[in-house]
Structure 1
Amino acid sequence: MKTKLLLFFLTLFHTVVFAQRAGYWQQAVDYKLDIDVDEKNYQYQGKMTLKYTNNSNQSLKKVYFHLYFNAFQPGSMMDYRLANIADPDPRMTSNIGTTENPKIQSRIATLTPEQIGYQRIQSLTMNGQPTTFKEDGTILEVTLPTPIQHGETATFDMNWEAQVPEQIRRSGRNSKEGVALSMTQWYPKMAHFDEFGWHLDEYVAREFIAPFGNFDVTLHLHKDYIVGSSGVLQNPTEVKGYDKKAKVISSNGKATWNFKAENIHDFAWAADPEFVVDSTKSKGGVTVYTVYLPSNKQVKENWKTAQGLAAEFFDFCAERFGAYPWPTYTIVQGGDGGMEYGTATLVTGGRNIKSLVGVIFHEAAHSWYQHLFGINETVDEWFDEGFTSYIEELGFQSLFEKRGSLDSNPVINAYRAYYKLALSGKEEPMSLLADYYDTNYGYSQQAYNKGQVFAQQLGYIIGQQNLDKTFLEFYELWKFKHPTPNDFKRVAEEISGINLKWYFNLFVNTTRKIDYAIENVTDKEITLVNKSNLAMPIDLLVEYEDGTKELFYIPLREMRGEKPAEIFSIYEGVRRTVSEDWFWTKPTYTLSINKKPVKVQIDPSLRLADIESADNSWVR
């Protein structure tokens, strides 16, 4: 009877969480790509067969594709964005002025016809019938001969030609480190359609969303090239680099590479004749490949060290955030920094070991927050980059710095960066669409640092153990789907029993700041004040004259619950007292005490993102 009752409540728990997305559906894609590369001219011919399944509750009269390479042309929206944003990305600009009078120019603006990128559609049919299509910047609008009905799968056949642009942002040829081809955003990609409609963001250098699907990619390029790619190589004995016994099979001087991947939503590759390939396997069974340029002894040593740490990182993440579900992960030198793709990343490789490990950990962590959970990076960039940075930092401190135990706030540096942003006058709401920030500084600090603060502070609100449970339960419920922050909120609420609407709304949708202070302390009372307009629960540690300590936990009324006692070294041997909850409508709170205090501190764990900490402690 007890077993049946337990199973009933477990089933009920999952049903409650999913109730917020009743009728959830998502589209599916199945790509088969055949690419013939002209390495000398940096061009290629592409053939695609795409099976697109409409699982929505409506018929589709049109579909859309992204043509990202079209952004790398003078006069594109990306070009104008670089020319007009206050702090353009220095990787994408050049200084054409003098030291005294600098003048920044978009590098895209100076591209010649031989240097630009493009994707030009030559033909496109659906189920054998011609479609009507038109290019509009980086979007291809396709009017269908007949609507795709609910539950139907349509087959698109496309032929296109493309030119790889000069390396400017993520994609391109001849990177600064000498990589010949960095092939990202390189194929016409089906746009994402969900309950919010079509996501048709022009490419202006930010990030992406796409439907999950399977990829079967065949590449034909010069037999001397070595390829690092998403997916699993199907013919390692016929190409160069992966099998010592391989006999390269070529036709007209070209070798054929075939990669396959399942249930991913982006596919990338890079190629160079000087690449070397190495691999190792994690304890959990993930084969980790490194594909890079062995430019000197130190570079080779760094990549070897980073490869071993990357394998450990996948085991680390599996324990805390859910198992990595694909058989391989490939780390390829290329691009202009670091960027995540399905089962692969492109990173710059000529780094010191700390930097190399850091960027690999970050991009590998995106295998969860972006590629396992298909987060809409153009809408919820903080949910993607912030949570990824949180995972990266935990892994880096555990594996690279080898800390025996993490601090109660392991992402304190992100807090400091957030405080600087909050006081800079450049902060904008974290819910702002990623492309629309007034400054790149504001975007990066919000997405990467305030996003980390959000995650860590959530642990302060619901308890670190509950946060850890939330990550694992979220994995079980939302892997291979497209969750929103609200879905994460619902899981955290069910795990903790705490209402979180106020936190998700105020910290994400506004620029309100947290600012508490200890206003007055006597032998009988402690008075706290909320000096700002974002209310939070309070942990207040009081040390008495007799040497004993007491932790007063003051919940917020809006929480409708309380967090459990936490296991931190700073709280060992400390009595915990749960006090009456604090109203957000009441600016002050008075706490009665029975012994003479000598020290009082708000949140000794430093997880409360209070912008002014000087008045958070009192010493007699």
Structure 2
Amino acid sequence: MRKLFTLAFFMLVNTLLFAQRAGYWQQAVDYKMDIDVDEEKYQYRGKMTLNYSNNSNQSLSKVYFHLYFNAFQPGSMMDYRLANISDPDSRMATNLGTKDNPKYQSRIATLTPAQIGYQKVDALTVNGKAATYKIDGTLLVVDLPQAIEAGSTARFEMQWTAQVPEQIRRSGRNSKEGVALSMAQWYPKMAHFDEFGWHLDEYIAREFVAPFGDFDVTIHLNKDYVIGGSGKLQNPLSVKGYHKKAKVIAEDGKATWHFKAENIHDFVWAADPNFTVDSAQSKGGVTVYTVFLPTNKEVKDNWKTALSLATEFFDYTSARFGAYPWPTYSIVQGGDGGMEYGTATLVTGGRNIKSLVGVIFHEAAHSWYQHLFGINETVDEWFDEGFTSYVQELAFQHLFEKKGALETNPVIDAYRAYYKLALSGKEEPMSLLADYYNSNYAYSNEAYNKGQVLAEQLGYIIGKENLQKTFLKFYDVWKLKHPTPNDFKRIAEEVSGINLKWYFNLFINTTRTIDYGVTSVNDQEILITNKSNFAMPIDLLVHYADGTKELFYIPLREMRGEKPAENFSMYEGVKRTVLEDWFWTKPTYSLKLEKKVAKVEIDPSQRLADIESSNNSYVQP
């Protein structure tokens, strides 16, 4: 009995230690949609029943929906952004000038009424009563006939009509690769409401945040088409492409497709009459579907190889970052590059095998950092894209390049891209809202590369084993919820016992850079200098003249703790000595040794993001 009590007490303490932030709550949405598609006009009619659960502590007299297709109209905010940013996405703008003197024109600006996208609400009731609403750009503003009280659920009934735009960004008709319909961000989607309020971002270019919920989606489409989408197809025997014994059931020339998905926060689909479907199952039981255009033998072979690697990806990532919780994942050709959605992705498919596997791994990795963890991509883009790129790179090196575990920095290319950004004069704080960067260059490198640097350098600070434990504990605490970067920081602090406020603050909220140097080595004395305004702990590997080595670890006072010894082979058999803390207020640090020094190296693992590494080592002449 005493053992049981002790175990129960330990589990309770452990749960409280890693619990969500006090008073945490999240809204819930359950969508049931019926969609009737006119593929010749690229239009559709939709009916939706939405059950919206208000789990907050306040009543809501107003709600909002996103109408993303409305961005694809001349005069939209997306249109103006493309015309005025210094380096618009080449998929969305045309250079009418020269390379040296560019003059960009938004592709949206030239769309005709038959080419634009739109979503028009025809009827809307809440709990059976008509609601007052207005369309404001890519947002639908709904004044409720009666407030949704805290702890209650409201039932929305909506009918809308829509036109699928020309393929401009992510969604649209007739992609460059010939996919007929790429239906991403295609339905009136309830905006996200949380402790920070409503998130009412106009669709400018970036991504989204949304509440979790269940989706029940029925699509009526020409019987010759094949659909790939989120969730699990409920009727594979009555539609084209998914089963050898299927017998297509059609009414008025249309087949009915029925998909269901639980606990996701977005739903995507794509359709084309020439799609082919393949599938395989991971060892962990995830059924992975590929839905693509088999244009030639090389394309078909590449997709077959990619499918096999994708199943391995889900097993590898589930072990390293937490179990994938859904039964299916669909990789569907469509869109204009790669974009993640609930249990599915749209990717361009006419790629070489390395590129195809890379984009699939990236979008599938978003199943963790954005879909398992409902990260607000409009606010913390680096937490979404950077951590996803980190997962992608580890998996790619392990599964595709067969490198196994690297002894040094596995994301060194991201570090190099970050260094280039930091020295370019174009870097902005990584805490900037995703749409507000002055250039796409800065956004891309901050989100995708500096975000990776933050993750790998965190391992340098707390130790690589503690980093691995942090990822798994973060999964246990925050899966299927909406964490913030501070929640990840708190988990890392609890796992490692190290204070990380200084690191997250300086690396995310400022553009300060790290720069250390070995200033002098005089026989048995070493002087190290912090040449920047960003203090870090230091691993210093000393090679003595007698052929032996010693690793000196210098913690930063602000850490209030120390990282454990790490099991890199370069440190095997090397004595590790922990020195006195280094103050961030003191620019130099000196070591007096008992033996003559031959060589000194700051951070041989290359995980310290030092923008000038040429002075990080010293060899005695």
Shared fold per TM-score greater than 0.5: yes
Within 5 Å, give how 1:357-376 maps onto structure 2.
357-376=357-376
Does structure 1 conserve the Cα–Cα contact (< 8 Å) formed by 2:263 and 2:480? Answer: yes
1:368 partner SS: helix
Counterpart Cα distance in 2 of 1:571 and 1:84:
52
Residue in 1 aligned with 2:436? 436
Counterpart Cα distance in 2 of 1:373 and 1:414:
23
2:176 counterpart of 1:176? yes
Counterpart Cα distance in 1 of 2:265 and 2:553:
44
Counterpart Cα distance in 2 of 1:173 and 1:142:
29
Counterpart Cα distance in 2 of 1:324 and 1:437:
33
For 2:14, give the aligned amino acid. F
Does structure 2 conserve the Cα–Cα contact (< 8 Å) formed by 1:554 and 1:581? Answer: yes
2:531 counterpart of 1:535? no
Residue in 1 aligned with 2:600? 600
Residue in 1 aligned with 2:585? 585
Residue in 1 aligned with 2:562? 562
Residue in 1 aligned with 2:427? 427
Within 5 Å, give how 1:92-171 maps onto structure 2.
92-97=92-97, 102-171=102-171
- CA separation of 1:10/1:526 partners in 2, compared to 1, >3 Å: closer, same or farther? farther
Counterpart Cα distance in 2 of 1:551 and 1:100:
51
Residue in 2 aligned with 1:493? 493
For 1:13, give the aligned amino acid. N
2:351 counterpart of 1:351? yes
Per-residue Cα deviation, 1:337-363 (whole angstroms, up to 9, x for no partner) = 000000000000000000000000000
Residue in 2 aligned with 1:523? 523
Gaps of 5+ in 2: none
Deviation at 1:406, TM superposition (A): 1.8
Counterpart Cα distance in 2 of 1:293 and 1:142:
41
Per-residue Cα deviation, 1:20-57 (whole angstroms, up to 9, x for no partner) = x1110000000000000000000000000000000000
For 2:52, give the aligned amino acid. Y
Counterpart Cα distance in 2 of 1:53 and 1:566:
47
Deviation at 1:98, TM superposition (A): 5.9
Residue in 1 aligned with 2:17? 16
Counterpart Cα distance in 1 of 2:337 and 2:262:
26
Within 5 Å, give how 1:241-260 maps onto structure 2.
241-260=241-260
Does structure 2 conserve the Cα–Cα contact (< 8 Å) formed by 1:429 and 1:508? Answer: yes
Q: TM-score of the superposition, structure 1-length normalised?
A: 0.99
Gaps of 5+ in 1: none
Counterpart Cα distance in 1 of 2:186 and 2:296:
30
- CA separation of 1:211/1:99 partners in 2, compared to 1, >3 Å: closer, same or farther? closer
- CA separation of 1:558/1:98 partners in 2, compared to 1, >3 Å: closer, same or farther? closer
For 1:74, give the aligned amino acid. P
Does structure 2 conserve the Cα–Cα contact (< 8 Å) formed by 1:523 and 1:594? Answer: no
Counterpart Cα distance in 2 of 1:581 and 1:129:
66
Within 5 Å, give how 1:384-403 maps onto structure 2.
384-403=384-403
Counterpart Cα distance in 1 of 2:407 and 2:545:
27
Per-residue Cα deviation, 1:415-467 (whole angstroms, up to 9, x for no partner) = 00000000000000000000000000000000000000000000000000000
Counterpart Cα distance in 2 of 1:407 and 1:311:
26
Aligned length: 619
Deviation at 1:103, TM superposition (A): 2.9
Counterpart Cα distance in 2 of 1:428 and 1:191:
28
Deviation at 1:523, TM superposition (A): 2.0
Question: CA RMSD of the aligned region, Å?
Answer: 1.0
Does structure 2 conserve the Cα–Cα contact (< 8 Å) formed by 1:381 and 1:447? Answer: yes
Q: TM-score of the superposition, structure 2-length normalised?
A: 0.99
Deviation at 1:2, TM superposition (A): 5.2
Residue in 1 aligned with 2:451? 451
For structure 1, which segment, 400-409 or 544-553, has the greater mean C-alpha deviation from structure 2 after superposition?
400-409
2:418 partner SS: helix
Deviation at 1:591, TM superposition (A): 1.1
Per-residue Cα deviation, 1:464-510 (whole angstroms, up to 9, x for no partner) = 00000000000010000000000001100000000000001000000
Residue in 2 aligned with 1:207? 207
Does structure 2 conserve the Cα–Cα contact (< 8 Å) formed by 1:82 and 1:106? Answer: yes
For 1:506, give the aligned amino acid. L
Per-residue Cα deviation, 1:141-189 (whole angstroms, up to 9, x for no partner) = 0000000001110000000000000000000000000000000000000
Residue in 2 aligned with 1:29? 29
- CA separation of 1:102/1:459 partners in 2, compared to 1, >3 Å: closer, same or farther? closer
Deviation at 1:102, TM superposition (A): 4.6
Per-residue Cα deviation, 1:62-118 (whole angstroms, up to 9, x for no partner) = 000000000000000000000000000000012334678653210000000000000
For 2:12, give the aligned amino acid. T
Deviation at 1:569, TM superposition (A): 1.1
Residue in 2 aligned with 1:482? 482
State percent identity of aligned pairs.
Answer: 77
For 2:576, give the aligned amino acid. R
Residue in 2 aligned with 1:5? 6
Deviation at 1:242, TM superposition (A): 0.2
For 1:563, give the aligned amino acid. K
For 1:273, give the aligned amino acid. P
For 1:326, give the aligned amino acid. W
Does structure 2 conserve the Cα–Cα contact (< 8 Å) formed by 1:79 and 1:109? Answer: yes
1:607 partner SS: coil
Per-residue Cα deviation, 1:522-544 (whole angstroms, up to 9, x for no partner) = 12211111010010000000000
2:37 partner SS: strand
Does structure 2 conserve the Cα–Cα contact (< 8 Å) formed by 1:398 and 1:406? Answer: no
Counterpart Cα distance in 2 of 1:101 and 1:262:
50
For 1:587, give the aligned amino acid. P
Counterpart Cα distance in 2 of 1:94 and 1:5:
67
For 1:136, give the aligned amino acid. D
For 2:557, give the aligned amino acid. R
Counterpart Cα distance in 1 of 2:393 and 2:404:
15
For structure 1, which segment, 382-391 or 517-526, has the greater mean C-alpha deviation from structure 2 after superposition?
517-526
Counterpart Cα distance in 2 of 1:204 and 1:325:
31
Deviation at 1:3, TM superposition (A): 5.5
Does structure 2 conserve the Cα–Cα contact (< 8 Å) formed by 1:210 and 1:374? Answer: yes
Residue in 1 aligned with 2:40? 40
Counterpart Cα distance in 1 of 2:99 and 2:18:
58
- CA separation of 1:552/1:98 partners in 2, compared to 1, >3 Å: closer, same or farther? closer
Counterpart Cα distance in 2 of 1:573 and 1:511:
38
- CA separation of 1:6/1:498 partners in 2, compared to 1, >3 Å: closer, same or farther? farther
- CA separation of 1:128/1:524 partners in 2, compared to 1, >3 Å: closer, same or farther? same
Counterpart Cα distance in 1 of 2:79 and 2:54:
35
Residue in 2 aligned with 1:193? 193
- CA separation of 1:412/1:100 partners in 2, compared to 1, >3 Å: closer, same or farther? closer
2:324 partner SS: coil
Counterpart Cα distance in 2 of 1:100 and 1:422:
23
Residue in 2 aligned with 1:288? 288
Residue in 2 aligned with 1:321? 321
- CA separation of 1:343/1:115 partners in 2, compared to 1, >3 Å: closer, same or farther? same
Counterpart Cα distance in 2 of 1:97 and 1:619:
52
Does structure 1 conserve the Cα–Cα contact (< 8 Å) formed by 2:407 and 2:569? Answer: no
Deviation at 1:205, TM superposition (A): 1.1
Does structure 2 conserve the Cα–Cα contact (< 8 Å) formed by 1:29 and 1:212? Answer: yes
Counterpart Cα distance in 1 of 2:259 and 2:519:
64
For structure 1, which segment, 92-101 or 573-582, has the greater mean C-alpha deviation from structure 2 after superposition?
92-101
